Amino acid sequence: MDSLSQNSSAVKFYSGENIPLELHKVRIVQKLHLVPIERRLEALYEGGFNTFQLNTTDVFLDMLTDSGTNAMSDKQLSAMMIADDAYAGSQSFIRLQKAVDDVLGKKYLLPVHQGRAAEHILGVAYVKKGSMVPMNYHFTTALAHITECGGQISELLYPEAYKIDSDHPFKGNMNIEALEECIQKHGKDNIPYIRMEASTNLIGGQPFSVQNMRDVRAIADKYGIRLVLDASLLGENAYLVKQREAEFQDKSMAEILLTFTGMADIIYFSARKLSSSRGGGICTNDIKVYKELEALVPLFEGFLTYGGISIREVEAMAVGLYETLDETMISQSPSFIKYLVEEAKKLGIPMITPPGVLGAHVDAMSFCSHIPQTQYPAGALAAAFFLISGVRGMERGSVSNQRDENGNETYADMELLRLAVPRRVFTLSQVKYVIDRLKWLYDNREMIGGLKFYYEPSVLRFFMGKLEPTSDWPQKLVAKFRADFGDSL
Ligand code: F0G
């Protein structure tokens, strides 16, 4: 019986209906706010049509991110109560070190306050002017820290990765031939490390295979370059390997995770994602690497046994890391994403396929094909969807890009509305509401108009930037909503 799959999609319904089943019960709840569309319109103007600038009192379903918003387990919460608060030598840190060694197979751990702090430290330690960091795809903060240190990046995916509608199981795979060309072009001495991001965040949460990482490892060995794994979304990546890579279908989550991590010289992660807690970490088995980075942690983060993380969260991290091995937990978000993507697709809504991790991704370039990239179709779609549903997603398109060194716009490869599905937070009827409202907006998509910046910060502009609509399209959308839904919320 132990060999029977224990995941959300493994339970068959007598009716034949194909839906994921929650394998947990809800014991603490939080009230949501579904405010009238007229209030949401005001909130959008107050927040510069940027969903980061909204208050949760105006948000119904918060699908902005899974970062720090995954549901915590009873075991995580109870572990927080036994935290050993100490500036130095905390037993909570010893427990975390053990969890990192057990789950990720790395003996040396440097705690940091969140994932981007790890990127900062790696940048300061290894990236300098003229450095080139090859990677499968960038993440916003990873790129910003590398460029802050004077380096550049090369994104090396296969062409399939840029196809919206695909059945390729591993669109996050690094392009091996391009990697070797990149090394030869820039010279191995200018490449401080190769970065592999588990489940390319910005282009649809797409995983890479174990085989692909083996091929990358072989190239790294050939040229003597370090391999860095961004493991923030490694749990779900490993779950999709179990689903999609034949060699691993009978392997446990623990075995798959260790297979991945065993190939990396350095691993870093956002614990806000990986372990459903807060914090982050850098870990390695290489004492030389540890020593190179050690001094930077007390300088930027905090003492080596807490790294800027509250000790309670250190306990939650340790328990959360073990819980990534539990398929009933780790399957929940990908199963709900799969349901959302497949049902939306049936209704004709353009979605990134195959369904990935972190969230469902709507293709704004096609949804809003009438809006030019200069007017930020993904930003406009994120604002319009919040307006008509109260569901807060995140723009993952050109607004999330940074300008080049000459101050020119760089347009994103994809214009996406990301609807994050944090672990064990939403119910299926809430997901059905999302699909219903997406369909209404799709049927009224011609009414969505563009956006333009009126306040644009120079670094990570998508967080604090403010935009305005290019016409009165939001008011017209509100009027159409009222005409169709009457006095419904
Ligand atoms: N790497 C990846 C792949 C991430 O997804 C994130 C965060 C980070 C690094 C940075 O970690 O936020 O703890 O500093 N992603 C969040 C998101 C912000 O919404 O996708 P952090």
415-470 residue pLDDT tens? 999 999 999 999 999 999 999 999 999 999 999 999 999 999 988 899 999 999 99
Specify the long-range contacts of residues 338-344, CB closer than 8 Å, at least 24 apart: 338/9, 338/20, 339/19, 339/20, 339/428, 339/431, 340/419, 340/421, 340/431, 340/434, 340/435, 343/432, 343/435, 344/435, 344/438, 344/439
pLDDT tens sequence across 130-183: 999 999 999 999 999 999 999 999 999 999 999 999 999 999 999 999 999 999
Question: The whole model's pTM is what?
Answer: 0.96
Tell me whether residue 162 is one of the annotated catalytic residues.
no
Tell me whether residue 273 is one of the annotated catalytic residues.
yes
DSSP alpha helices (H): ranges in 127-280? Answer: 140-148, 176-186, 210-223, 234-244, 253-261, 271-274
Is residue 88 within 8 Å of 303, Cβ to Cβ? yes
Q: How far, in Å, CA of 41 to CA of 477, rounded?
A: 10
Q: 271: helix, coil or strand? A: helix
Is residue 354 within 8 Å of 362, Cβ to Cβ? no
CB of 230 closer than 6 A to ligand 1? yes
Is residue 360 within 8 Å of 405, Cβ to Cβ? no
pLDDT tens sequence across 217-250: 999 999 999 999 999 999 999 999 999 999 999 9
- Please give the single-letter amino acid code of residue 211: Q
Is residue 20 within 8 Å of 8, Cβ to Cβ? yes
CA of 266 to the centre of ligand 1 (A): 17
Is residue 275 within 8 Å of 321, Cβ to Cβ? yes
- Partnered with residue 392 across adjacent β-strands are 62
Lowest mean pLDDT among 4-18, 35-49, 333-347, 380-394: 4-18
The answer to whether the Cα torsion of 168, 171, 173, 179 is positive or negative is positive
DSSP alpha helices (H): ranges in 85-175? Answer: 91-104, 115-126, 140-148
Q: How far, in Å, CA of 330 to CA of 253, rounded?
A: 9
In the chain, % of residues over pLDDT 70: 99
Tell me whether residue 189 is one of the annotated catalytic residues.
no
How far CA 317 is from CA of 65, 201, 265, 301, in Å, comes to 18, 21, 22, 17
Q: How far, in Å, CA of 376 to CA of 478, rounded?
A: 20
Angle at 253 between CA 247 and CA 255, to 5 degrees: 65
Tell me whether residue 260 is one of the annotated catalytic residues.
no
- Please give the single-letter amino acid code of residue 335: S
Q: Which of the listed residues 62, 270, 419 should we mutate to test ligand 1's pocket, taking the one with most ligand atoms within 8 A of CB? A: 270
5 vs 114, higher pLDDT: 114
pLDDT score, position 1: 46
CB of 359 closer than 6 A to ligand 1? no
pLDDT tens sequence across 15-55: 999 999 999 999 999 999 999 999 999 999 999 999 999 99
Q: How far, in Å, CA of 109 to CA of 123, rounded?
A: 17
- Whether the pLDDT of residue 4 is over 80: the answer is no
pLDDT tens sequence across 255-275: 999 999 999 999 999 999 999
Tell me whether residue 339 is one of the annotated catalytic residues.
no
Q: Which domains does the chain have, with CATH numbers?
A: 3-66+329-485 (3.90.1150.10), 74-325 (3.40.640.10)
Angle at 356 between CA 122 and CA 24, to 5 degrees: 100
3 pLDDT band, cuts 50/70/90, is low
In the chain, % of residues over pLDDT 90: 96
Q: Is 6 exposed, middle or buried (0-12, 13-18, 19+ CB in 10 A)?
A: middle
CB of 272 closer than 6 A to ligand 1? yes
Average pLDDT for the chain = 97
Strands 193-197, 226-230: pairing kind: parallel
CB of 37 closer than 6 A to ligand 1? no
Return the beta strands (E) in 366-438 as ranges: 394-396, 416-420
Closest C-alpha residue for ligand 1 atom 15: 67
Tell me whether residue 230 is one of the annotated catalytic residues.
yes
- Please give the single-letter amino acid code of residue 204: G
Residue 394 CA, closest ligand 1 atom number: 19
Lowest mean pLDDT among 110-124, 263-277, 368-382, 395-409: 395-409
Is residue 54 within 8 Å of 384, Cβ to Cβ? no
Closest C-alpha residue for ligand 1 atom 18: 67
Q: Is 131 exposed, middle or buried (0-12, 13-18, 19+ CB in 10 A)?
A: buried
Tell me whether residue 396 is one of the annotated catalytic residues.
yes
- Whether the pLDDT of residue 331 is over 90: the answer is yes
- Please give the single-letter amino acid code of residue 125: A
Q: Is 97 exposed, middle or buried (0-12, 13-18, 19+ CB in 10 A)?
A: buried
Which residue among 60, 108, 137, 139 is the active-site one? 139
CB of 67 closer than 6 A to ligand 1? yes
Which residue among 195, 272, 396, 418 is the active-site one? 396
CA of 205 to the centre of ligand 1 (A): 12
Query: How remote is the C-alpha of 371 from its chain's centroid?
Result: 26
